[in-house]
Amino acid sequence: MPDPRTEALEPAGAPHPNEPPQPPPAVVAQIVAELSHTRTFSGPLPPPDVLKGYEEACKGAAKRILDMAERQAEHRQKMEWYALQQDARRANWGVWTAFLLCLSALVAGAAVIALGHDTPGTVIATAGLASLAGVFIYGTNARNRERTERLDRLLGRGATDQNAPQLAPPG
């Protein structure tokens, strides 16, 4: 706030000594115009006009960019294939482990029944089978829920959108 005692001594329109100097309006307009120009793109390759600009700036740049995009796509596909193979291997191990655990529970239950303890043997064998069935049902429900959520994302609807049309199963 300017001092009223010295305000009368300053010429009209003169900046106050404590205020920073202001650039001329034409400079401000130029700076704003330059800062507001942006261009974005997504994907492995730039738009053709930008690619052409790279080629003009450096001969062979467009080919190198295309080669880089091809190598990246090939790498990503290999990584996806490897991840799918590992998921399948893990799933197979899970199935075999569940089978062996269930078989162990049945054998243990039969052994306990053979020793004359019918109720505990039945509980052991039933618990092994029930736990296997529970894990199978839980896994099936989780996969179905994941697929439904992925489909909802692909179709651009929320997972809680009850009014969205439902797709009929193929066939």
Given a cut of 90, is residue 36 above it in pLDDT? Answer: no
pLDDT at res. 29:
65
Global confidence as pTM: 0.47
Question: Mean pLDDT over residues 124-138, rounded?
Answer: 86
Q: Look at phi and psi of residue 166 and say left if phi exceeds 0, alpha if psi is from -120 to 50, else beta.
A: beta
Higher pLDDT, 22 or 54: 54
Name the residue ranges covered by the structural domains of the chain.
Answer: 48-155
Higher pLDDT, 168 or 68: 68
pLDDT at res. 157:
78
Higher pLDDT, 114 or 12: 114
Backbone angles phi, psi at 22, to 5 degrees: -100, 135
Backbone angles phi, psi at 152, to 5 degrees: -60, -40
How high is the mean pLDDT of the chain? 80
Cβ proximity of 122 and 113 under 8 Å: yes
Q: Number of helices (H) and strands (E) in the chain: give both, helices first.
A: 5, 0
